[in-house]
Amino acid sequence: MKAKIPIAEPWLGEEELNNAVQAIRSGWISSQGEFILEFEKKFARYCGVSHGIATSNGTVALHLALKALGIREGDEVLVPALTFIATANTVTYCNAKPVFVDSHPTYWCIDPDRIEKGITKRTKAIVPVHLYGHPCEMDAIMHIAKNHNLYVIEDAAEAHGASYRDQRVGSFGHINCFSFYGNKIISTGEGGMCLTDNEELATRMRILRDHGMNPNRRYWYDVVGFNYRMTNLQAAVGAAQVDKLDMLIGKRRQLASWYQEAFKDLVERGLVTLPPEMPWAKSVYWMYSILVEDRFGTSRDELINSLKERGIETRPLFYPLHLMPPYQRRNSRAFSVAEEVGRKGINLPSGPRVTKEQVIQITNSIRSIQAR
C-alpha cells in the first residue's frame, strides 16, 4: 500500500524525460555518451570543485575514493558511529578498520572534539558525514587532518548543496562523495559521484572505475579495478536534476520552517527536540528528523507504528553502527550521544511535495498520539 504521506519522493519532470529520450534515441545507454561528462561537469561546478567522477551509486563512490587514496589492510579510518552503514562498510571492503567517533550532542554529526582520541599510528583518513543534510564542522576537521597528515573524504551522500561557512560541502576533503539514490534531494535512480580538485586522483578514480584499464592502451590493465561506471541514461536524468537543485533545497528549507513552527508547543514542553542549524551551517534538511524525548510518554517505535496507521510514513534514525552485528565488538567503547540520538530519533516526511497542511496533519497526529 502506498503511504498517504511518503517519507521521500523524487522530483522528476519533462526535462529529465527529454534528456532520457535523447539518450535512448542516441543509442548511448551504457557508460559512454554525452550526458556523463555533462552531469559530472555541472555537478562539480555547482559544488565548486574541478573534477567529477560519476559512479553507479554512492556506496561505490566511497569505495572508489578510499581505493584511490590507497586505503588498505592494516589501515584505520575514522567514521561517525551514527551514519548509514555504507560509510563503514566501504572501509571494510578495503580490509581496513572503521574506527567509530561519537556524535556532537547538538547537531549529531561527527564530534570534532572526539576525533583525536581515535587517532593511532595506523589512522589514514577521516570520513565526516553531513548527516541528514546538516554540514559537519569542517574547519576543525580539516585542521585535525592536517596536523595528523590524514586524508579527508566527505560523505556528502545526504547533503547536496549544504554549506559550511558559505562554502558548499563536497569541496573540503581530498575526495568527496555523493549519492543520487531515489530518496535523495536530486536523484538518478541509483547513482553517485566523487569530487576532487586533484587531477591525479581524478585520473586514478577514472581508471579504477573502469576495471583499471590503461587510458592509453585499450584492454590493458595495470591494476585491479572495478566496474563502477554510471550509465548515460542515469546521467541524462542527473544533468536535468542539477538545474533543479536550488529550487528543491528551497522546498526542503521551507518544509523545515513549517515543521519548526508547528512543533513549537511540543518543544516548549520538552517532548520533542528539533534538528538544529548551527550558526556556521546551511542545512538542506534532507530528512527532517526529530528526537522523541522520554517524557513524550510513547516510545519512538510506537509513534512510528501509530503514524503508519494514519498513513504517515516515517523511519527510525540510523542505529549506531557499533551496536550492529558486523561492527559489534566485545568491550567496545560506548558512544553515548550516537546511542541516545539513534534511540530517540525519527525521520518525518521530507519530500518536495509535502504541503503546509500535511505538516499540520503530521504534527497534530503526533500531538494526539502523545495525549492518548
Ligand X SMILES: Cc1ncc(COP(=O)(O)O)c(C=O)c1O
154 part of the interface to ligand X, by CB under 6 A: no
Question: Which one of residues 19, 83, 176, 234 is an interface residue with ligand X (CB under 6 A)?
Answer: 83
86 part of the interface to ligand X, by CB under 6 A: yes
226 part of the interface to ligand X, by CB under 6 A: no
Which range in 79-87, 96-104, 236-244, 346-354 contacts ligand X by CB under 6 A? 79-87
When the beta carbons of 101 and 129 are compared against ligand X, the nearer one is 129
Q: Which residues share a beta bridge with 282?
A: 163
Q: How many helices and strands (H and E) does the chain possess?
A: 12, 14
Site residues (CB under 6 A) for ligand X, limited to 113-132:
129
Which range in 155-163, 260-268, 333-341, 361-369 contacts ligand X by CB under 6 A? 155-163
Helices (H), the chain: 14-26, 34-47, 58-68, 86-93, 138-147, 199-209, 232-242, 245-262, 264-268, 300-309, 336-344, 356-371
Q: The C-alpha cell of 352 is what?
A: 518536495
Question: Are the C-beta atoms of 24 and 233 separated by less than 8 Å?
Answer: yes
Least Å distance between CB 181 and ligand X?
A: 4
When the beta carbons of 176 and 361 are compared against ligand X, the nearer one is 176
Cα angle 240, 158, 281 (rounded to 5 degrees) comes to 105
**DSSP letter at 22?**
H
**DSSP letter at 284?**
-
How far, in Å, CA of 311 to CA of 289, rounded? Answer: 18
Which range in 33-41, 57-65, 303-311, 337-345 contacts ligand X by CB under 6 A? 57-65
Residue 133, SS3 per DSSP:
helix
Which range in 82-90, 196-204, 321-329, 353-361 contacts ligand X by CB under 6 A? 82-90
Which range in 80-88, 166-174, 220-228, 271-279 contacts ligand X by CB under 6 A? 80-88
57 part of the interface to ligand X, by CB under 6 A: yes
Q: Which helix H or strand E contains 195, and what residues bound it?
A: strand 192-196
Least Å distance between CB 349 and ligand X?
A: 17
Q: How many residues bind ligand X (CB under 6 A)?
A: 14
194 part of the interface to ligand X, by CB under 6 A: no
59 part of the interface to ligand X, by CB under 6 A: yes
When the beta carbons of 59 and 273 are compared against ligand X, the nearer one is 59
Question: Are the C-beta atoms of 174 and 151 separated by less than 8 Å?
Answer: yes
Cα angle 198, 157, 195 (rounded to 5 degrees) comes to 15
**Closest residue to ligand X, Cβ-based?**
58
179 part of the interface to ligand X, by CB under 6 A: yes
Residues that bind ligand X (CB under 6 A): 57-59, 83-84, 86-87, 129, 155, 157-158, 179, 181, 192
